[in-house]
Structure 1
């Protein structure tokens, strides 16, 4: 089984990403379940604006799209900015819109029989809103969203230290991240054994 973790931080490599640090908890738990995990930091790539799978010369989204359709599990990791997902996460969802019209060999949308979850960090409140926005969009695209397939950390209400600047709340976020990974794998395996049928 394969998973792809798409980090929507605004920080380019090799700058430290708080979101990546919390996503690592989920990656470790997935790997303990024998899942092959690949990670992508979108800000490092030339992802053009648009709503198609390929926006032309220089666009690096097609390689990300290939990872998405080649994985049974998707984890979207994003920071919280002004109470919302990052602009990088929004661009990702806009590019994924093309998947609504792409079908597999049986005529199903290509996101069917794949599961998705969300990791959120931020030094302000808003994580539940971010989880809802991304989970809702991924459900529209065709992903199955298992129960409790998210984890988050924030220092709210109001601004404060970032994830890497304090240990406060890490135990809860890590425990929730491990549960998230377990639920994603369980539902992915169930869909593998009993896939959603074509709707005609």
Structure 2
């Protein structure tokens, strides 16, 4: 049985490429931890795509969500990374969650929701409180559409409130954040491989 894992990070920064992004930095760091465990992976920045509003797999008329959706369906582990604005996840992250809602009506050859057997991690950065609240929203939404959440599956950094230092500005990754990344990646890889061996029932 092939237990190779494919990972996808969707970064929900409000900044288009090539602007530097703290959300993208933390997502790439988690991907690196997963790669160290034998996984492959890539990152996409959602704001670089024309993602139409709606809850269908393809909204037509230039909608680029289907490109990202193909990557989601090919991935065993999804990392959803978002900045914190006004104590909430970004509007881009909300758009991604709304588009994933379409998968509720999609099933595989056994009649199961198409996202069953996939694992989700959350990454949150910001200069204000809200990380636990955002993780709860992301995980509830992702679980609703079929993803499984591993133990300690969120990684976050909260900078000092109302200060100008962003996660991408730190000279090194804080020890606690680095440890959280290793734990989240190890648990996600373990869970994803377990689900490859033993699928959820039809």
Specify if TM > 0.5: yes
Q: Would the aligned equivalents of 2:31 and 2:42 in 1 still touch at CA under 8 Å?
A: no
Q: What is the alpha-carbon distance in structure 1 between the residues aligned to residue 97 and residue 26 of structure 2? A: 21
Unaligned runs of 5+ in 2: none
1:153 equivalenced with 2:157 (yes/no): yes
Task: Please state if 1:143 is matched with 2:162.
Answer: no
Distance (Å, rounded) in 1 between the aligned partners of 2:162 and 2:146: 35
Q: Secondary structure at the match of 1:40?
A: strand
Aligned partner of 2:105 in structure 1 is 101
Greater mean deviation of Cα atoms: 46-55 or 32-41? 32-41
- Is 1:117 aligned to 2:121, yes or no? yes
Which aligned pairs between 1:75-94 and structure 2 lie closer than 5 A?
75-94=79-98
Alpha-carbon offset, residue 169 of structure 1: 6.6
User: How many residue pairs align between the two structures?
Assistant: 197
TM-score (norm 1): 0.95
**1:75–1:118: 8 Å Cα contact kept in structure 2?**
yes
Match of 1:191 in 2: 195
Deviations 1:3-35 (A, max 9, x none): 110000000000000111112221111111111
TM-score (norm 2): 0.94
- More off after superposition, 165-174 vs 90-99: 165-174
Is 1:166 matched with 2:195?
Answer: no
CA contact (8 A) 1:153 1:169 kept: no
Equivalent residue in structure 2 for 1:133, among 129, 133, 137: 137
Per the alignment, residue 62 of structure 2 pairs with 58
The 3-state SS of whatever aligns with 2:111 is coil
Say what the alpha-carbon RMSD is for the aligned residues. Answer: 1.2
Whole-Å separation in 1 of the counterparts to 2:38 and 2:172: 30
CA contact (8 A) 1:139 1:145 kept: yes
SS in 1 for 2:17: coil
* Deviation, structure 1 residue 166: 3.3
Rounded to whole Å, the distance in 1 between the matches of 2:57 and 2:194 is 28
